[in-house]
């Protein structure tokens, strides 16, 4: 069985070649004999023989392409479509070369042989291309496969099998047909319409398109367009026989009953190509990936909120299991906690299981025994088919595939989450990446809670600083966008305890920027996690075409659901357009922005705004939000954004730095670069306070060039 499985591709290839040679031989003999001047007798072959050879030819080559496509392990839409395109172009090229050969030799004696050879080559190229399209599209249809998809596809293959059996039933019967022949005739007449209806239903499964980004959709649309042209080219390449029921030419005349099978194999991928192209065209302007990322952000927030409310490992792992089941659409799963053993290694305790019995979990765990291996490899482990896994042979289970995700934070092994699915090969790379991100998030957050539980007050305080600094370094941008017309520079100085200062700059179109600076109430890791959520909200909303006012309202709605009742955030958000030399700005409880007008050499504080984010929810909050402030800028103008740690810094005499000193500092450096302005201000604040930092200091300078 293993030998047959290993060499079945070669076997189908040889069967396809042999059957094609037989078809070619029939075609040549039929053509030469029937058109020989001295031959007054038309050569006819037994229809059952011809049907059998033709069925062998179709079956062998369709199984050949099915096996070949099945050997493609990497799931990639662009790669699959490219492979189909290469197969189609190769077939057209070979057909074209033989057509040229036929053109130059048709008036010679050998022309009678060349013509059936060309027809047979066309037939072979047609079957390989159409079959490849069928099974490559099967791979696309089975993306995130379900039982319904499998049932539809098996029905599709069943109708195709009926079409094959019809090869052995002549299209024309005797003048006195029997009841069985009438029933078979009705079956023949109803088979093709049923097949086309089923093809339309199956062709609606193009949900893989939602997971492509804009560039991938464009590439896929282009490839589908070229592939559709290839279908037309193959259709036009056979005007004299393959789809011409009145050709009356040798073997093709005897194989007219095969038209139904060829049509079924040809028109399904053609329909799916058209459906896919239409879906991509209509979905091109949408942001389907954003919806997926928003769902993932929501799952991250659920994990964070659960961890902030519970310091218990069991509750954390239970929340992680729920989020993983939902994201991966798994049927069941369980999660294990790891405990270090003396002498090395880990022991594992099953903590939670969902939709699977304890007995079945224990049997799978005992048979696989991979938890230690998963933690050691720090990567996901997949079982794509239980029946092909040696350790699981003989297992009585409805599940067919499994994935194990390690829960590890740095060198701290926390456990393993296992997910089960009733279908084989159910976990794609994108799904596994999301699951690993959830596990990593839970592991990092759990480690933070453990540090708070296990340390004394001072050690807990110090660990908060270290962890929050790492989060802040990852969240805050390391490099800001550059432009010939505007210059950005930011500097931040951490206090002894990490706060929640946040800033970011996004260039969403050439010369157009979206800028945000904010401060989350509170300090420590809690503020740092809120800042991480703010980063995700900014990145998600800033990529949408939202007016400034709508951005503030939507940000408030998102933060209101993830911040605790006593927490809030201040924010200044603006959109800069260097072409029109205007900016729209709105403050949400944040300190006033300072604007330097180079033309009149004056500095002005802009205090217009609304209340902070997360204090009250939408739609009440919208009633307090006015219209954004619109400012024009010119060359040499400067906009200074900062956090309250600057103006609220205290000297040794408990005197506040204040807004006047800030204005004076900017005025002295107004002719300098944005980097120099920011550093001079920070040095001025440090000098004023004697180097003692009571809060985070963040300065963002925007200089218009």
Is 351 found in the same domain as 242?
A: no
Residue among 80, 55, 67, 53 nearest 13 (CA): 67
The pair of three-digit structure tokens given for residue 611, joined into one six-digit string:
């209340």
Q: For residue 207, how many other CB atoms are within 10 A of its CB?
A: 14
pLDDT category at 327 given cuts 50, 70, 90 is confident
pLDDT at 456: 56
594 or 439: whose pLDDT is higher? 594
What is the tally of structural domains in the chain?
A: 3
> So what's the pLDDT on residue 121?
80
Is 70 exceeded by the pLDDT of residue 498? no
Q: How much is the CA Rg of the chain, to the nearest whole Å?
A: 35
User: Do 584 and 630 meet the contact criterion of CB atoms below 8 Å apart?
Assistant: yes
Q: Among 451-465, 509-523, 528-542, 546-560, which is the least confidently predicted range? A: 451-465
Q: Do residues 214 and 132 share a domain?
A: yes
For range 589-618, the mean pLDDT: 92
pLDDT above 60 for 78? yes
Q: Are residues 535 and 582 in the same domain?
A: yes
Residue 664 lies in a domain: yes
Answer whether residue 460 is part of any domain.
Answer: no
* Of 286, 308, 337, the domain-final residue: 286
Q: Are residues 261 and 309 in the same domain?
A: no
Is residue 107 over pLDDT 70?
no
Report if residue 654 sits inside a domain.
yes
- Residue 481 and residue 440 in one domain: no
Residues 330 and 274 grouped into a single domain: no
Contact 349, 336 (CB under 8 A): yes
* Domain assignment of residue 94, yes or no: yes
Q: What is the DSSP string of 184-199?
A: HHHHHHHHHHHHHHHH
Residue that wins the pLDDT comparison between 47 and 422: 422
Say whether both 538 and 629 belong to one domain: yes
**For 104-125, what is the mean pLDDT?**
71
Q: Would you say 371 and 346 are in contact if contact means Cβ atoms under 8 Å apart? A: yes
**Tokens coding 564:** 């605790």
Q: Is 317 found in the same domain as 211?
A: no
Q: With beta carbons less than 8 A apart as the criterion, state whether 616 and 604 touch.
A: no
β-bridge mates for residue 502, sequence order: 518
- Residue 333: what pLDDT? 93
* DSSP reduced 3-state for 374: helix
pLDDT attached to residue 267:
80
Let me know if residue 461 belongs to a domain: no
Position 459 in a domain: no
Domain that holds residue 578: 468-704
Q: Return the residue matching tokens 């370094």.
A: 473
- Is 462 inside a domain boundary? no
Lowest mean pLDDT among 38-52, 88-102, 593-607: 38-52
Q: Which of 557, 578, 581, 354 is nearest to 481 (CA)?
A: 578
Whether the CB-CB separation of 351 and 314 falls below 8 Å is answered with yes
Structure token digits, residue 618: 């939408």
- pLDDT at 590 exceeding the cut of 90: yes
Of 574 and 161, the one with more pLDDT: 574
CATH number at residue 690: 3.60.40.10
3-state SS assignment for residue 448: helix
* Range from 57-61, 114-118, 159-163 carrying the lowest mean pLDDT: 114-118
DSSP-derived pairing of the beta strands 582-588 and 609-610: parallel
Q: Measured at the alpha carbon of residue 512, what is the angle toward residues 508 and 518, in degrees to the nearest 5?
A: 75
With tokens 């073997």, the residue in question is 251
Strands 593-597 and 638-642, how do they pair?
A: antiparallel
Query: What residue has token string 């996004």?
Result: 506
The pair phi, psi for residue 232, each rounded to 5°, is -65, -40
Give the end of a domain, one of 286, 317, 346.
Answer: 286
Q: Grade residue 489 by pLDDT with cuts at 50, 70 and 90.
A: very high
The mean pLDDT value of the chain amounts to 79
Q: Can you tell me which residue has the tokens 């956090």?
A: 643
Element (DSSP H or E) covering residue 261: helix 259-283
Count other C-beta atoms under 10 Å from residue 363's C-beta.
Answer: 15
Whether residue 565 is contained in a domain is answered as yes
Q: Which of 432, 454, 476 is the last residue of a domain?
A: 454
What pTM did the predictor assign? 0.48
Q: Please report which confidence band the pLDDT of residue 29 belongs to, taking 50, 70 and 90 as the band edges.
A: low
Residue 109 confidence (pLDDT) = 58
The mean pLDDT value for 619-642 works out to: 92
* pLDDT band for position 172 (cuts 50, 70, 90): very low
697: its two tokens: 């200091």
CB 606 within 8 A of CB 618: no
What DSSP element (H or E) covers 489? strand 486-493
Residue 308 tokens, joined: 């902030």
Q: Can you tell me which residue has the tokens 């259709």?
A: 235
Calculate the alpha carbon distances from 213 to 217, 247, 286 in Å. 6, 48, 10
CATH number of the domain residue 362 falls in: 3.30.450.40
Same structural domain, 670 and 577: yes
Q: Are residues 496 and 356 in the same domain?
A: no
With contact defined as beta carbons under 8 Å apart, do 311 and 449 qualify?
Answer: yes
Through-space distance between the first and last CA atoms of the chain, rounded to whole angstroms: 74
* Neighbour-count burial for 67-100, b at 16+ CB within 10 Å, e otherwise: bbbeeeeebebeebbebbbebbeebbeebeebee
State yes or no: pLDDT of 257 exceeds 50. no
Going by C-beta distance under 8 Å and a sequence separation of 6 or more, which residues neighbour residue 449? Answer: 307, 311, 316
273 and 301 assigned to the same domain: no
- Are 531 and 665 part of one and the same domain? yes
């Amino acid at each position: 069985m293993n030998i047959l499985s290993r060499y079945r591709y070669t076997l189908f290839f040889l069967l396809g070649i042999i059957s094609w040679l037989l078809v070619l031989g029939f075609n040549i003999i039929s053509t030469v004999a029937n058109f020989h001047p001295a031959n007054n007798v038309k050569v006819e072959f037994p229809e059952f023989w011809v049907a059998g050879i033709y069925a062998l030819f179709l079956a062998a080559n369709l199984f050949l392409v099915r096996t070949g496509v099945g050997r493609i392990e990497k799931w990639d839409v662009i790669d699959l479509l490219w492979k189909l395109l290469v197969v189609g172009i190769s077939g057209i090229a070979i057909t074209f070369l033989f057509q040229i050969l036929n053109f130059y030799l048709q008036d010679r004696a050998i022309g009678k042989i060349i013509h059936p050879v060309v027809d047979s080559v066309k037939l072979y190229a047609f079957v390989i291309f159409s079959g490849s399209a069928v099974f490559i599209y099967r791979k696309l249809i089975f993306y995130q496969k379900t039982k319904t998809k499998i049932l539809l596809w098996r029905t599709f293959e069943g109708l195709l099998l009926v079409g094959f059996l019809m090869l052995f039933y002549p299209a024309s019967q005797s003048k006195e047909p029997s009841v069985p022949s009438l029933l078979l005739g009705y079956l023949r007449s109803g088979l093709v319409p049923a097949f086309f209806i089923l093809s339309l239903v199956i062709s609606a499964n193009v949900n893989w398109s939602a997971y492509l980004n804009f560039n991938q959709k464009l590439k896929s649309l282009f490839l589908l367009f070229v592939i559709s042209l290839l279908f037309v080219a193959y259709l036009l390449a056979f005007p004299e026989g393959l789809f011409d029921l009145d050709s009356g030419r040798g073997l093709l005349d005897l194989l007219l009953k095969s038209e139904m099978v060829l049509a079924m194999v040809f028109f399904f991928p053609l329909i799916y190509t058209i459906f896919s192209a239409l879906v991509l065209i209509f979905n091109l302007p949408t942001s389907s990936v954003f919806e997926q990322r928003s769902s993932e952000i929501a799952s991250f927030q659920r994990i964070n909120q659960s961890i902030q409310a519970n310091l218990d490992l069991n509750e954390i792992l239970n929340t992680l299991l729920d989020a993983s089941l939902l994201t991966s659409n798994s049927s069941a799963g369980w999660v294990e906690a790891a405990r270090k053993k003396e002498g090395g290694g880990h022991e594992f305790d099953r903590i939670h299981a969902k939709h699977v019995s304890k007995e079945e979990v224990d049997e799978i765990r005992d048979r696989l025994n991979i938890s230690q291996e998963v933690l050691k490899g720090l990567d996901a482990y997949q079982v794509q088919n239980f029946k092909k896994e040696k350790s699981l042979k003989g297992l009585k289970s409805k599940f067919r595939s499994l994935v194990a995700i390690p829960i590890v934070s740095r060198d701290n092994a926390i456990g393993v989450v296992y997910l089960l699915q009733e279908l084989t090969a159910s976990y794609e790379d994108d799904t596994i990446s999301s699951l690993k991100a959830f596990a990593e998030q839970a592991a990092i957050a759990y480690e933070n809670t453990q540090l708070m539980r296990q340390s004394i007050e001072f050690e807990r305080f110090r660990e908060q600083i270290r962890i929050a600094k790492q989060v802040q370094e990852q969240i805050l941008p390391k490099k800001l966008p550059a432009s010939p017309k505007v210059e950005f520079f930011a500097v931040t100085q951490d206090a002894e305890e990490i706060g929640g200062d946040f800033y970011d700059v996004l260039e969403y179109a050439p010369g157009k920027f979206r800028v945000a600076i904010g401060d989350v109430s509170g300090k420590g890791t809690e503020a740092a996690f809120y800042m991480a959520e703010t980063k995700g909200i900014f990145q998600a909303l800033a990529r949408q075409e939202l007016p400034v006012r709508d951005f503030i309202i939507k940000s408030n709605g998102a933060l209101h659901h993830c911040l605790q009742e006593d927490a809030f955030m201040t924010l200044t958000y603006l959109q800069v357009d260097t072409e029109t030399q205007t900016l729209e700005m709105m403050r949400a409880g944040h300190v006033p922005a300072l604007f330097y007008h180079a033309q009149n050499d004056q500095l002005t504080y802009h205090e217009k705004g609304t209340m902070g984010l997360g204090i009250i929810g939408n739609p009440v909050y919208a009633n307090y939000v006015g219209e954004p402030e619109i400012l024009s800028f010119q060359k040499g103008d400067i906009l200074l954004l900062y956090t309250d740690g600057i103006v609220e810094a205290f000297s040794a005499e408990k005197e506040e730095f204040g807004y006047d000193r800030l204005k004076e500092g900017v005025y002295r450096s107004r002719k300098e670069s944005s980097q120099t302005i920011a550093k001079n201000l920070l040095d001025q604040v440090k000098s004023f306070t004697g180097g003692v930092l009571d809060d985070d200091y963040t300065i963002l300078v925007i200089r218009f060039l």
